[in-house]
């Protein structure tokens, strides 16, 4: 018995039930024309998923119901499966507001299936993720709470949905996203359903953002589920972008069909691209007769390039922007930013601006001009020295006075203050005004290493409408530069001089690139140290670092080059001073600046913003840290 | 039988187990010297409560255990009750990390009580809040999940703790914060415990932030719980501030003791102030013999003043800042900001800066000088016109060029762009540099009305280290101004001219205060319209507004002056245009700017930032909104 299954990997526009419903109706028509028997859409494809507190608007919920009904009405002889918010207007959630479920609807002949063996005519999500960017418990009432409320064992609530097909009944195991990621839960929805027997196809509808490394993990987990249950499994995920304000997620889709042996028998064309894909599933052999369709394995840098381009394209479109201004210094971050945008926007919609002060070298000024030339973008040079001098003079020459006692206070601008004045002059005085006049916005070119320790100026180089590189460590920015030249442009658009140059802010005569004088950050070590503070699931603190240092396993544990630590630090004292300095910056001024940073494109397993939630609580060293330190220094 | 109960309303420093333990040991010594039998501390008083993802650091958790043991060791003949994180190192939470409970410890003679009728030698929080600023499910495993895991009915897990007292046993109903706010939950911990009988005292340890109106609600709820159960109830809450990065919460403490009749028989001195308070409870009559100690009822504006001063003091101290620079325009927001800071910092640690352009009137320039004079702060005038002109000229005079085809682009600065150039020149060019030279930071003076619709300039007047007024609507800023003059300073420190002036940005000749030309916002209506978008528990959208408008009940529903709407808008068309314009700004540029705003002091029941979570998803109008609109316009 052959069944035609359509995976509708749709580009979900968050917060737009009207647009999403239109897209779905188009995709349904396409699937019908391709003789689909089952048409499957992603989780929350009508409202979108990451909507912040929009779920609190009753009018929005009613609207989602209205559009959901349009999809139900579009089902004829096919089975249409889609995600939407389901509202029980007669009950409340734990927050006292109307109760909402993250739900899976199964429609057939304009009616909903599945209400015969479940309290509602739809299925609800069992496992609600509350980590990283997810806030499911904040918004939705899950099956675990419903089980508690109804005093029915959860196993008795997780049943297959039976659907008519060619005069027979087929069993569908309908689950949603996290329900399939059960390694940390004692509740295993897929097992519960399949133990009941009679399941012909497991269906996981998801809204699962891209993360570096997730693609392989997904394949491993879902393939194993299909193999273990001996039942084919189809995974449908959306494309597009969604955000939590500060953090923007790309969705790669990567919808995939596994046969009962765990082998891939179909997938939607390309990641990040909307498409309808039909897979013929032979129910008599769990699809095992079809040849597996292998995916090419990609390097991290390819995924990074793909997700950044996708997110920049979608984000600029979503906010109605097609022109950007990019401040280019002749350094690596701004060069990579420019080369990325030039793949998304037309080159005459990109204005590159070099803003030299007296500290900028001829080397970097020439490199900036060369970059603009190679990318074919608009280019201008706006020097800042004159206004920077005027700012310093104005402040130093105007005393403050206290009238009650005629106290007079004269202010003095130090070298460090003058550095920040330059950075703010570039972004807040010039780029913001140039962007407005150009009819666009200006970019923030900061990377994750800088953002971690606040090595950028607030309202200066940390400003902008979007920080596209802010989830990449400095070494990843270099990798991306090389990849762009070699594989994307296939010529040297980022001048090799920019890649070879020592990274430097060029904000004083002590930052002399021609003498190799650059940033205080030692990227080959600090990139990995900082990453350990944030990205591992079990996060690392100075106590762990010191322990590993004293055991001689630090490089191995944080993943940097072996032998590097002793090359950089000749004594434990030096090592500890360095560690404490950066830990303080990370928790202090770095954090304060991140609160006011632009939105960040998420790439890694932990991006700043809503993914990695921070409180401004200052720097802390544990009791055991001090014990270890004392031992090391004595 | 008289028992001496010590409420330890402590100033919890979030993320500092070391400091908190020291404070607790001091308070324990004080309570012992006052013959306390039971010594009660707030929820999470060792680690703090709002810590972001610090809970993921294993070293931090071990540290909290270490310091928690110090408190247990300090218990002798007294019963010490305190909140801390409890870690089960052998189990995981739903996120796969080590399992953490938000726990209540009951110590006596250096041992923990309560392990005889519970799976752990501590109690764990049953109801985990996941609304507003709370993320409990993200970090902690609650009693509901433990009940599910152990397959034990939750009612059987909620038992009193029995403690020895004068040769007998007394029953303590120990619950935590949300466990006492059960109106939306089917699980009622207080009822469950008290139904078992033998409870002599209910104890609610809390970490509950200040919100306008919460004080009265707390009293109503806890008084009723004491009356219903017939058992005395003691509520202990912390003081200090804690934050989620973008949103900063004050904790008022307001620890209160209710007798079995629901009457107040004791409370900790003043809200927001750390103190140890002993109440003698007669167990034979549930404390009903003691005369009730009534609290004075306060106006909202008094609470606003108190919470803002408390939060400004605590926040500046926590980040090590004692000097601020405040840009003062002669308008109301900067004047109130200055008058508030002058209550917290020494007047010679406050530098007020007026930064006129050619659009600023003599009226406001004089008012700014007069304010500085009356507050006795340092004052200076730094004009911006010269650099603003230079910025405009530099951009207009320097064409951008595209080398491949010699395209030349000349940019033009419009009036609106020039307005934003002025705002950024003030904050990013001058105030940031002046603050650094002064050895401090500069304030953001924006209010909630501006922040709602983006009526402020990014990197301009929306910049600063802290936005102290950003949870106050414009009319509340005026109320606070009048209150400061009348009740706090008891003289006119904020010149009456500032209070009487039409609110105006003075960024062009069309903003002429002397001709009464001010902001496009009609505060007496828009303050209330905007509030309805955000603050009600059931949030309001244009669909609701239009419905109420068509039913003639709009003013009543949003709380503005009756008859106002028809005075402002002569036709439904005008009304709708206004509504749509602001709704778009709220969801569009306003939101984009809020992502990059400074931290906000929370006052209302919904503050921007982590309290009200937002996704940048653009503006949406529901199907039903369009139907209503069509009907109204036809």
* Rounded CA separation B123/B114 (Å): 8
* Rounded CA separation A157/A168 (Å): 24
Helix (H) or strand (E) holding B219: helix B214-229
A351 touching B, CB under 8 A? yes
Compute the C-alpha angle B266/B182/B48, nearest 5°: 65
* Rounded CA separation B103/B177 (Å): 11
Mutate to test the interface with B, among A158, A178, A245 (most CBs of B within 10 A): A245
- Residue B161: phi and psi, rounded to 5, are -100, 130
Please state, as a whole number, how many other Cβ atoms lie within 10 Å of the Cβ of residue B116: 9
Q: A151-160, A210-219, B288-297, B436-445: which range is least confident on average? A: B288-297
CA dihedral A383, A389, A394, A395 (to 10 degrees): 110
A442-466 core/surface letters (b: 16 or more CB in 10 A; e: else): bbbbbbbbbbbbbbbbbbbbbbbbb
Give the C-alpha distances (Å, rounded to integers) separating A621 from A83, A532, B18, B90, B317. Answer: 46, 16, 10, 25, 19
Mutate to test the interface with B, among A96, A248, A400 (most CBs of B within 10 A): A400
Q: Are residues B51 and B199 in the same domain?
A: yes
Shortest alpha-carbon distance between residue A284 and chain B (Å): 37
> Could you tell me the end-to-end alpha-carbon distance of chain A, in angstroms, rounded to an integer?
76
Q: Do B96 and A537 touch (CB under 8 A)?
A: yes
Strand partners, B165: B168
B442 touching A, CB under 8 A? no
Task: Please compute, for residue A501, the number of CA atoms within 13 A of its CA located in the half-sphere on the CB side.
Answer: 30
Q: By the 8 A CB rule, do A200 and A234 touch?
A: no
Shortest alpha-carbon distance between residue B408 and chain A (Å): 8
pLDDT at position B290 over 80: no
Out of B63, B183, B421, the one facing A96 most closely (by C-beta) is B183
Shortest alpha-carbon distance between residue A84 and chain B (Å): 16
pLDDT value for A510: 84
Nearest CA in chain B to A392: B433
A67 touching B, CB under 8 A? yes
> What is the number of domains present in chain B?
3
Q: Do A463 and B463 touch (CB under 8 A)?
A: no
- CATH number of the structural domain spanning residue B400: 3.40.50.620
Out of B184, B347, B382, the one facing A95 most closely (by C-beta) is B184
Nearest CA in chain A to B182: A94
Q: Which chain A residues touch B131 with a CB distance below 8 Å?
A: 94-95, 138
Residue A515 lies in a domain: no
Out of A96, A144, A622, the one facing B537 most closely (by C-beta) is A96
Residues of chain A with pLDDT under 50: none
In chain B, the percentage of residues whose pLDDT exceeds 70 is: 99
Helix (H) or strand (E) holding A409: strand A407-409
Place of tokens 């020291």: B22
pLDDT at position B294 over 80: no
Residue A516 lies in a domain: no
Strand, coil or helix: what is A379? strand
* Rounded CA separation B45/B70 (Å): 13
CA dihedral B26, B27, B30, B32 (to 10 degrees): -110
pLDDT of B172-200, one tens digit each?
999 999 999 999 999 999 999 999 999 99
Out of B377, B392, B424, the one facing A432 most closely (by C-beta) is B424
Task: Please compute, for residue A295, the number of CA atoms within 13 A of its CA located in the half-sphere on the CB side.
Answer: 22
Q: By the 8 A CB rule, do B543 and A59 touch?
A: yes
Q: Which chain A residues touch B622 with a CB distance below 8 Å?
A: 59-60, 62-63
Mutate to test the interface with A, among B318, B405, B620, B621 (most CBs of A within 10 A): B620
Q: Are residues B67 and B133 in the same domain?
A: yes
Considering only residues 315 to 334 of chain A, which have any Cβ-Cβ distance to chain B shorter than 8 Å? 318-319
B631 touching A, CB under 8 A? no
Out of B53, B386, B401, the one facing A379 most closely (by C-beta) is B401
Q: Are residues A283 and A339 in the same domain?
A: no
Q: A297-306, B295-304, B600-609: which range is least confident on average? A: B295-304
Shortest alpha-carbon distance between residue A246 and chain B (Å): 6
Residue A79 lies in a domain: yes
* Rounded CA separation B448/B455 (Å): 10
pLDDT at position B513 over 90: no
pLDDT of B318-351, one tens digit each?
999 999 999 999 999 999 999 999 999 999 999 9
pLDDT at position B269 over 90: no
What is the rounded average pLDDT of the residues B434-454?
A: 98
Split at pLDDT 50, 70, 90, the class of B507 is confident
Domain hosting B347: range is: 300-514
Structure tokens at B488: 């706090």
* Rounded CA separation B337/B140 (Å): 38
* Rounded CA separation B12/B487 (Å): 30
Q: Are residues A477 and A535 in the same domain?
A: no
pLDDT at position B293 over 80: no
Mutate to test the interface with B, among A182, A374, A622, A624 (most CBs of B within 10 A): A622
pLDDT of B337-391, one tens digit each?
999 999 999 999 999 999 999 999 999 999 999 999 999 999 999 999 999 999 9
In chain A, the percentage of residues whose pLDDT exceeds 90 is: 93
Nearest CA in chain A to B370: A403
Q: By the 8 A CB rule, do B6 and B31 touch?
A: yes
Last residue of a domain, one of A483, A509, A535: A509
Q: Are residues A123 and A198 in the same domain?
A: yes
Structure tokens at A55: 């779920």
Q: Are residues A589 and A449 in the same domain?
A: no
Strand partners, A379: A352, B401
* Rounded CA separation B71/A431 (Å): 55
Give the C-alpha distances (Å, rounded to integers) separating B218 from B206, B207, B261, B617. Answer: 11, 13, 16, 36
* Rounded CA separation A388/A355 (Å): 12
Nearest CA in chain B to A394: B382
Q: Are residues A111 and A232 in the same domain?
A: yes
Q: Which chain A residues touch B54 with a CB distance below 8 Å?
A: 615, 617
* Rounded CA separation A401/B334 (Å): 19
Among B83, B81, B8, CA closest to B253: B8
Q: Do A538 and B56 touch (CB under 8 A)?
A: yes
Among A598, A57, A319, CA closest to B594: A598
| Residue B451: partners with Cβ closer than 8 Å, 6 or more residues away | B462, B467, B470, B590, B593, B594, B597, B600, B608
Can you give the C-alpha Rg of chain A in angstroms?
A: 28
Q: What is the DSSP string of B170-197?
A: EEEEEEEGGGG--TT-S--HHHHHHHTS
Angle at which helices A572-587 and A523-534 cross, to 10°: 50
Nearest CA in chain B to A243: B615
Q: Are residues B101 and B166 in the same domain?
A: yes
Nearest CA in chain B to A623: B63
Considering only residues 386 to 425 of chain B, which have any Cβ-Cβ distance to chain A shorter than 8 Å? 386-387, 390-392, 394-395, 398-404, 407, 409, 411-414, 417, 420-421, 424-425
B89 touching A, CB under 8 A? no
Q: Are residues A486 and A580 in the same domain?
A: no
pLDDT of B469-489, one tens digit each?
999 999 999 999 999 999 999
- CATH number of the structural domain spanning residue A116: 3.60.110.10
| Residue B151: partners with Cβ closer than 8 Å, 6 or more residues away | none
Q: Which chain A residues touch B14 with a CB distance below 8 Å?
A: 615, 617
Please state, as a whole number, how many other Cβ atoms lie within 10 Å of the Cβ of residue A407: 12
* Rounded CA separation B510/A370 (Å): 45
Among A329, A327, A341, CA closest to A433: A327
* Rounded CA separation B254/A477 (Å): 52
Q: Which chain B residues touch A242 with a CB distance below 8 Å?
A: 615, 617
pLDDT of A189-216, one tens digit each?
999 999 999 999 999 999 999 999 998 8
Residue A517 lies in a domain: no
Does the pTM surpass 0.90? The reply is yes
Among A410, A376, A369, CA closest to A393: A410
Considering only residues 295 to 314 of chain A, which have any Cβ-Cβ distance to chain B shorter than 8 Å? none
Q: Are residues B331 and B285 in the same domain?
A: no
Q: Do A59 and B465 touch (CB under 8 A)?
A: no
B515 touching A, CB under 8 A? no
Considering only residues 26 to 45 of chain A, which have any Cβ-Cβ distance to chain B shorter than 8 Å? none
Using H for helix, E for strand and C for coil, what is the string for B500-557? HCCCCCCCCCCCCHHHCCCCCCCHHHHHHHHHHHHCCCCECCHHHHHHHHHHCCHHHH
Last residue of a domain, one of A487, A509, A531: A509
Q: Are residues A264 and A339 in the same domain?
A: no
pLDDT value for B505: 86
Residue A440 lies in a domain: yes
Q: Are residues B70 and B116 in the same domain?
A: yes
Last residue of a domain, one of A294, A324, A359: A294
Q: By the 8 A CB rule, do A626 and A547 touch?
A: no
pLDDT of B140-183, one tens digit each?
999 999 999 999 999 999 999 999 999 999 999 999 999 999 99
Q: Do B59 and A378 touch (CB under 8 A)?
A: no
Helix (H) or strand (E) holding A137: helix A136-139
What is the rounded average pLDDT of the residues B396-420?
A: 95
* Rounded CA separation B267/B253 (Å): 10
What is the rounded average pLDDT of the residues B551-578?
A: 97
């Amino acid at each position: 018995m052959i069944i035609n299954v359509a995976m509708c990997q749709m580009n979900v526009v968050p917060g737009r039930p009207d647009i999403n419903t239109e897209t779905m109706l188009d995709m349904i028509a396409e699937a019908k024309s391709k003789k689909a028997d089952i048409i499957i859409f992603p989780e929350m494809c009508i409202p979108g998923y990451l909507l912040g507190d929009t779920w609190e608007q009753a009018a929005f919920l009613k609207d989602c119901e209205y559009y959901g009904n349009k999809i139900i009405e579009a089902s004829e002889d096919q089975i249409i499966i889609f995600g939407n918010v389901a509202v029980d207007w007669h009950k409340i959630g734990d927050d006292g507001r109307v109760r909402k479920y993250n739900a899976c609807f199964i429609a057939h002949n304009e009616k909903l299936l599945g209400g015969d063996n479940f309290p509602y005519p739809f299925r609800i999500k069992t496992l609600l993720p509350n980590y990283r960017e997810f806030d499911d418990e904040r918004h939705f009432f899950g099956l675990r709470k419903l089980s508690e409320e109804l005093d029915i064992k959860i196993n008795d609530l997780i049943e297959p949905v039976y659907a008519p097909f060619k005069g027979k009944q087929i069993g569908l195991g309908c689950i949603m996203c996290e329900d399939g990621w059960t390694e940390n839960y004692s509740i295993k929805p897929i097992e519960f359903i399949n133990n009941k027997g009679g399941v012909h196809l497991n269906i996981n509808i998801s809204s699962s953002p891209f993360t570096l490394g997730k693609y392989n993990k997904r394949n491993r987990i879902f393939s194993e589920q299909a193999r273990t249950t001996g039942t084919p499994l189809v995974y449908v995920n959306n494309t597009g972008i969604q955000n939590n304000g500060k953090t923007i997620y790309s969705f790669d889709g990567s919808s995939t069909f596994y046969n009962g042996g765990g082998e891939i028998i179909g997938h939607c064309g390309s990641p990040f691209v909307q498409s309808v894909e039909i897979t013929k599933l032979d129910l008599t052999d769990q699809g095992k007769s079809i040849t597996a369709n292998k995916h090419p394995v990609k390097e991290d840098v390819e995924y990074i390039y793909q997700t950044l381009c996708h997110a920049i394209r979608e984000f600029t479109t979503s906010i109605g922007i097609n022109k950007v201004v990019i401040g280019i210094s002749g350094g690596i971050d701004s060069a990579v930013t420019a080369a990325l945008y030039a793949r998304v926007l037309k080159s005459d919609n990109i204005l590159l601006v070099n803003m030299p002060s007296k500290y900028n070298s001829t080397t970097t000024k020439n490199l900036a001009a060369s970059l603009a030339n190679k990318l074919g973008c608009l280019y201008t040079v706006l020097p800042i020295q004159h206004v920077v001098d005027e700012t310093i003079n104005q402040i130093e020459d105007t005393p403050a006075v206290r009238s009650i006692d005629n106290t007079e206070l004269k202010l003095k601008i130090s070298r460090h203050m003058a550095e920040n004045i330059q950075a703010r002059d570039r972004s807040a005085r010039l780029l913001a005004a140039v962007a407005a006049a150009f009819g666009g916005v200006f970019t923030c070119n900061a990377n994750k290493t800088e953002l971690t320790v606040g090595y950028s100026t607030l309202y200066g180089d940390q400003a902008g409408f979007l920080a596209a590189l802010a989830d990449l460590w400095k070494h990843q920015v270099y990798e991306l530069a090389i990849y762009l030249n070699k594989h994307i442009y296939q010529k040297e658009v980022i001048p090799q001089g920019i890649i070879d140059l020592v990274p430097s802010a060029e904000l004083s005569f002590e930052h002399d690139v021609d003498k190799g004088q650059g940033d205080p950050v030692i990227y080959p070590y600090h990139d990995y140290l900082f990453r350990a503070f944030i990205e591992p699931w079990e996060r690392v603190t100075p106590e762990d670092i010191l322990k590993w240092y004293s055991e001689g396993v630090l490089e191995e544990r944080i993943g940097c080059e072996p032998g590097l630590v002793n090359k950089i630090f000749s004594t434990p004292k030096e090592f500890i001073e360095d560690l404490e300095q950066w830990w303080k910056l990370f928790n202090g001024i770095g954090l304060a600046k991140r609160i006011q940073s632009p939105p960040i494109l998420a790439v890694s397993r932990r991006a700043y913003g809503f993914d990695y939630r921070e409180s401004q609580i200052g720097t802390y060293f544990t009791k055991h840290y001090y014990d270890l330190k004392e031992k090391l220094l004595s």
